[in-house]
Amino acid sequence: MPRNQSARNGVLDVMQMQAQSQRSFRMSWLRLYAVMGSLTFLGTFILVGMGWGIEVVLGMPALLLGQLLFQALFALWLCQAYPIRVTQEGLTAMTFWGKHASLTWEEIEGARTRSFLFLPHLIVSSKARGITLWFPLFLGDQPDFAAALQEHVPETSPVRQALRI
């Protein structure tokens, strides 16, 4: 094997090892959009219940379709803009304000699961750093996410206890 080829294979091996030790996951667009669309239709029924005539509400199809299109694009943006990373060192996510935040497994002092708008989330906190991060648990690649957690989360971590893994 030529020397150049051997060096190239070595670089590829290192890149593959880094990719395996750091995995990125994104929210499921379909589940997020389904909730957003359901809220749109719920809002429509509330308007009808508040006295708006059904003919008035149904007379606005362009407005409703525009809102559903906007929600589809907004959901797509959220899924792309807020990735979750699982590494050997800990978890990384974006805060509500769009700032990257990472917590090592040792820094995580508390973890619990909650639903927000019918969507499950993992909430992890570090009192020492004053950080609380919400991780969506409705991911597009849920089985790989579970496998990454199984592989990287220490046995004594509150994350393992909260997710029962």
Domain residue ranges of the chain, discontinuous segments joined by +: 29-79, 83-163
Handedness of CA 112, 145, 31, 135 (dihedral sign): positive
Written as one letter, the residue type at 20 is Q
Helices and strands of the chain, counted as H and E runs: 6, 7
The pLDDT of residue 17 is: 44
Written as one letter, the residue type at 57 is V
- Whether residue 4 is predicted with pLDDT greater than 90 in this model: the reply is no
**CATH number for domain 83-163, candidates 1.20.950, 3.30.1070, 2.30.29, 3.30.1380:** 2.30.29
Q: How far apart are the first and last CA of the chain?
A: 44
What is the tens place of the pLDDT at every residue in 22-76? 789 999 999 999 998 888 778 777 777 777 666 666 666 777 788 888 999 999 9
Burial (CB count within 10 angstroms: exposed 0-12, middle 13-18, buried 19+), residue 62: exposed
Structure confidence at residue 128 as a pLDDT band (50, 70, 90): confident
Q: What is the pTM of this model?
A: 0.72
